[in-house]
Chains A and B, each alone.
Chain A
Amino acid sequence: MAAYIARRLLLAAVTIVAVSILSFLIIHLPPGDYVTSYIAQMAAQGGRVSAEEAQNLRIQYGLDQPVYIQYLRWMGMIVHGNFGMAMEYQLPVAQVIGDRLWLTIAVSIAALLFTWAISLPIGIYSAVRQNSMLDYVFTFVGFIGLAIPNFLLALLVLYFGFKYFNTNVGGLFSAAYADAPWSWAKFQDMLAHLPVPAVVLGLAATAGQIRIMRANLLDEKRKPYVVTARAKGLPEYRVILKYPVRVALNPFASTIGYTLPYIVSGSVIVSIVLSLPTVGPLLYSALVALDMFLAGTIILLLGTLTVIGTLLSDLLLMWLDPRIRLENR
């Protein structure tokens, strides 16, 4: 078990380093460097930066050093909680991101919960009543869910909400709470707004999960121990729920590792369409303005969060599955 945890931790650490290198790469990809953009920004606002000043800035940010030293400096800054400045806002990146990171997590977790709450019972039903009318209906709906890109579904939901209910289903807060400090009422308001993005985000993943759960349970259902349980005279719901479902749950749980990156990924694009106050729209505007420090930091944070989430799900799986827990004992 210790070996399993150690292996997972090591992989997570390596992945985070890989994400940080990729984020750094993105910061440095556009032509010119931070100071060039800063000068352009100042010029746009009517200010001027002298060549001497520019040189000083370059030294201050370490832009005259080799790339790998710049990377290490950047990592050093981040470890100290200093994410640099967001040019567009003239504020520290951490302050610009603020609550948005936690709201991103909230939306992603809501989507994940929705995915599970829907796909688990439907998967079980479809396996138990294989080839029934509802099984086909769910399969069909699942395929449609797979085939509609996230952003398109968000767009369609917005469109129908606007056209037939004349309301804006986007956003995460009512106007009254948007800028208000956190309170119980604001929290409730957020909960009321969460279902739409959660459903939009979760639907595509749900289709995949239903298929996995259904296939697993179909495999298990035909095994002799199920026949034995039925022969002993257990009521049908216990035959299904007590044995094969628990076995089928393991591969199902292990897919959370792939579902989470998928959902976080999707949340960025859905947030832009539904104008949710998460990091998605911020990342988008930063990329359009080529504010690469802000963009790189967001990509790094999203990647790190995903890796941590995946790690947690691996530990959960270990707790669920005795075969991993008791390994090497």
Chain B
Amino acid sequence: MIPAELLTPQVHEPEVTEAEERISVATQWQLMWWRFRKHKPALVSAVVVILLYLTAAGAEFLAYADPLASDAQRGLISPQPLHVSLGGLSVNGLTGQRDPQTFKRVYVEDPTVNIPVSVFAQGFPYKLFGLIPMDRHLIGVSGGNRTAETTLFLLGTDQQGRDQFSRLVFATRISLLIGLASVAISLVLGVLLGGLSGYIGGTVDTLIQRLIEILRSIPTIPLWMGLAASVPKDWTIEQVFFAMTLIFSLFSWTELARVVRGRFLSLREEDFVMAAELVGCSRLRIIFRHLVPSFLSHIIAATTLALPAIVIFETSLSFLGLGMRPPAISWGVMLQEASNVQTAAISPWLLWPAVPVIVAILAFNFLGDGLRDAADPYGV
């Protein structure tokens, strides 16, 4: 038997559901956000990246000890686990002893002593974001007189008795900033050269493409090491930072240029480019005013994917002592302490800086993947 509704002719109104209507009126950035939201690892990574940059910005507030204050007496103290109880946070105290063999002062955890750890504790004075003078820190041990017995070492201390946790917080700042600064410079280079290459074409394109091919077929680490070693020893932290940024961006613009060129090749035939040409816009204006905004999202994705490589190289070079050097604090500089295996085996907490390195690289990679998917929200 044939169902009745098939026999009666029906006029089909194109039914637009509410959801579809929402999509058709959404702006491009809204579509990207909806697409990005679906990529769960990227979403989590975005939160991680934001937290990392917040750590970098508010390092003084998060750290509870001066990262440069060294005390040979307190060298290589093991981490004190944080106890959470009804009475609040606390750690076990330390007692100083004399090692009977080496006559070195060593600190051993003393479970009978309880040191309360308070939130928003008073500590060393600083200026938050370089502006607001403060002396409160997220956590800390209250009371002014801080001997080794009554202080806090969440992640232990390094060989010179500096607090690992506070150093790690400050290292985040330099390690992430160097990536951001290098990527900013290679972005300018990449967009400019990739743009010229894709927009002008012809000989310029061939030359720039060959240049990219040459730069990509050279092993970069030996070259970087050579350039980094030539940085004079008496330069200040800022000068070394600047030199490193230049060295990194010198070689990392190629991938960005490749992405930009591909976009240009596909966009330069569009009508709006022709229109801009006809009203007499200059080439630079067409590139930066008309073309760049239309593939900005792709650039953002490529930029994020360029960050992990720079973090890796900065960490590697600083680890070798050729990148950032003490008193600057970066993850690589901290890992230098663990470069002797015997030391690392006795004090494994010196390997802690490896964790933020891996987390940051993973987060940037996933975030970049998610952004790349979201950059083209009209695809399948």
A residues apposed to B, CB below 8 Å: 11, 14-15, 18-19, 22-23, 26, 29-31, 143-144, 146-152, 155-156, 158-159, 162-163, 168, 257-258, 261-262, 264-266, 268-269, 272-273, 283-284, 287-288, 290, 295-296, 298-299, 302-303, 306-307, 310
Contacts and interface: CB of A to CB of B under 8 A. Distances in A.
Contacts of B223: 22, 26, 299, 303
B365 interface: yes
A266 B221 contact: yes
Contacts of B227: 26, 29
Main secondary structure of the interface of B (DSSP, over half): helix
Nearest to A168: B341
A238 B190 CA distance: 45
B181 interface: no
Contacts of A162: 341-342, 345
B357 A152 contact: yes
Contacts of A152: 315, 335, 354, 357-358
Given A159-B344, A303-B218, A151 B322 contact: no
A155 B39 CA distance: 33
A261 B219 contact: yes
Contact of B219 (A14, A30, A257, A302): A302
A303 B226 CA distance: 13
B230 A257 contact: no
A14 B230 contact: no
Contacts of A163: 345, 348
Contacts of A262: 219
Given A147-B365, A159-B351, A22 B232 contact: no
A264 B321 CA distance: 20
Given A148-B358, A272-B320, A11 B218 contact: no
Nearest to A311: B217
A302 B222 contact: yes
Interface string B227-251: 1011010000000000000000000
Nearest to A299: B222
B106 interface: no
Given A258-B216, A261-B216, A265-B219, A159 B358 contact: no
B230 A269 contact: no
Interface string B34-75: 000000000000000000000000000000000000000000
Contacts, number: 132
B338 interface: yes
Given A159-B344, A258-B216, A143 B365 contact: yes
B157 interface: no
A162 B344 CA distance: 10
B213 interface: yes
A168 B222 CA distance: 26
Given A143-B365, A155-B351, 4 more contacts: A26-B223, A143-B362, A287-B229, A290-B229
B95 interface: no
A307 B210 CA distance: 14
Interface residues of B, number: 40
Contact of A155 (B214, B220, B232, B335): B335
Contacts of A146: 308, 361, 365
Nearest to A305: B219
B339 A11 contact: no
A272 B308 CA distance: 22
Best-surrounded residue of B216, B230, B319 (most CB of chain A within 10 A): B230
What are the nearest 10 A-B pairs in CB distance?
A29-B230, A287-B229, A26-B226, A265-B221, A265-B219, A147-B361, A264-B219, A149-B312, A147-B362, A261-B219
A324 B148 CA distance: 70
Contacts of B225: 268, 283-284, 287
A15 B218 contact: yes
B166 interface: no
A68 to B, nearest CB: 20
B316 interface: yes
A215 to B, nearest CB: 13
B210 A11 contact: yes
Contacts of A283: 222, 225
Contacts of A310: 217
Contacts of B222: 264-265, 268, 283, 298-299, 302-303
A149 B351 contact: no
Nearest to A151: B316
A148 B355 CA distance: 10
A306 B319 CA distance: 25
Contacts of A303: 218-219, 222-223
Nearest to B224: A265
